[in-house]
Amino acid sequence: MPTDTDPVLASLRIDRSGVPIYLQLRDQLLHAIGDGRLVPDARLPTMREVATSLSVDLNTVRRAYDALARTGAIRVVPARGTFVAERPPAPDKALRDKTVDAFAHRVIALANAAGLDPAAAAKRVLQIQKGDER
């Protein structure tokens, strides 16, 4: 039976880049949430559906979903499914600033690790945020 998650499930890919599979899944699902393919309260494919579709171990998918749940991107409702979380309320200014700084440091580290210029990555983030998808 087709669901709203079928296009997302069909878009998931695993590559041999050396990046752990659970991180690839986590990042692809975060991207789907970020670009609006998965909206708040949208039901995600079950872990078993993802594992079967990609021929990966169920525990690998569980690890990706657990990582998403820890960040607050998704919520697990026992016996009902896994859903995209609503946007969390804005944290107080000090916590928000600390979170933004930590996020910026992670982005810089990821860009450097990928051999990319962090400033170019930041510029591209701003372009995408403004709707310039190229």
Angle, CA of 56, 59 and 60, to the nearest 5°: 55
Global pTM? 0.67
Reported for 103-112, long-range contacts at CB under 8 A and 24+ positions apart, including other chains, are none
* Nearest of 62, 43, 67, 66 to residue 51 by alpha carbon: 62
- What are 87-118's pLDDT values in tens digits? 755 567 777 788 788 888 888 888 888 898 99
Q: Which pLDDT score is estimated for 133?
A: 67
- What pLDDT does 5 receive? 56
Residue 59 to residue 5: CA distance in whole angstroms: 20
Q: How confident is the model at residue 2 (pLDDT cuts 50, 70, 90)?
A: very low
State residue 71's pLDDT score.
86
pLDDT digits (tens, 9 = 90+) for 22-49: 999 999 999 898 888 899 999 999 999 9
Per CATH, is 6-84 categorized as 1.10.10.10?
Answer: yes
Q: Where are the domains of the chain?
A: 6-84, 93-129
